[in-house]
Amino acid sequence: MPTLLLVDGHSLAFRSYYAHAKNREGGLRTKTGIPTSVSFGFMKALLDTMEQEKPDYVAIAFDPGEPTYRHEADQTYKEGRPDAPEDFLPDLSNLQELLQALKLPVISVPGYEADDVIGTLSRKAVSEGFRVKVLTGDRDLFQLIDDEQLTVLYLSTTFGKGTPPPREFGPQQVKDKMGISPQQVVDYKALCGDPSDNIPGVKGIGDKTAVSLLTQFGSLVEVYNHLDKIKGATRKKLEDGRDAARHSQYLAQIHLDVPLALRPEDCKLQAFDDATVVPILEKLEFRSFLNRLQKLHSQFAGEVAEPASNGAISPSPPPSFSPSS
């Protein structure tokens, strides 16, 4: 069974940025002042994960630069989050240039978050017989996990030297961490909300109560079908917060039908062109990656191509990654 690694681009990018921003004043930079915390941390985590998991296919999804359908449904969605640091965006731009030079599919779809792209692509891949692993630091993606074919490689919240590798989560690991099943993650957020995304949940319902209700009744629908069996203040909170619960459920649900032209088979690793990749690595002063080019070729499942007549390595044409109409 071929393995597809899907990467939550913004999740990994922000973790990379803050990992180095905490450890060095101003983060990582080249001698000429180019910020590289995002690019270096992201590439190291990605390549380490590829070495560990040995995927046959890889794709990276990023959030779009404009509001999504969730913002249209709720203008306060993700309100309160700080703006991206000034040096984050140019660093992210250099990272995406490097990923494209390595012929890794990079996709962003207007109106949808990276989670929705990952959800849609993972569903297609599982239906076509792929084993899917999702690299992220976001628990939202736990809702995609199934028993056999789809797991989450969950990034540690610990940054810095000695950061442990991502931990693979299946249904049991989700149960151990959150007290619920992957299928209950959306309803859990509907009940107790998610401050990181400014999803309100039911006012007054916390983590422990949400887990208890879902353990007893199984789902949000069944919680509300059995209000007569819930006593006291909890019942009153649920009655008052019925609309908020439904709204929060909508915001927390990953969309599984994003219009995508990219197919799982388009994500196959392929040989990259040294003549395109090396100048970017040199600009970013990534000597450690330059020193392992042959290993990178092996990781990307490609043979080093014969030099073309102009001395450059002949690349094969990349697939198209634009969303379908």
- Kindly list the domain boundaries of the chain, sorted by start residue: 3-171+255-299, 182-252
CATH class name, domain 3-171+255-299: alpha beta
Cα gap 56→9, rounded to integer Å: 19
Looking at domain 182-252, does it have CATH number 1.10.150.20?
Answer: yes
pTM: 0.89
Hey, is 93 helix, strand or coil? Answer: helix
Contact status, residue 150 vs residue 206, Cβ threshold 8 Å = no
Q: Could you give the strand order of the β-sheet that contains 167-169, starting from the edge strand earlier in sequence?
A: 106-107, 57-61, 3-8, 131-136, 150-154, 167-169
> Of 79-88, 92-101, 247-256, 295-304, which gets the smallest average pLDDT?
295-304
Q: What is the pLDDT of residues 72-87, one digit of tens each?
A: 887 877 776 777 788 9
> Of 27-36, 61-70, 76-85, 312-321, which gets the smallest average pLDDT?
312-321
> Of 33-42, 106-115, 234-243, 312-321, which gets the smallest average pLDDT?
312-321
Band (308; pLDDT cuts 50, 70, 90): very low
Cα gap 96→39, rounded to integer Å: 8
User: What is the percent of the chain with per-residue pLDDT over 90, rounded to a whole number?
Assistant: 72
The tokens for 297 are 């070729």
The tokens for 217 are 């009744």
Cα gap 75→220, rounded to integer Å: 24
3-171+255-299 and 182-252 in the same fold: no
The tokens for 239 are 């009655």
Cα gap 175→171, rounded to integer Å: 6
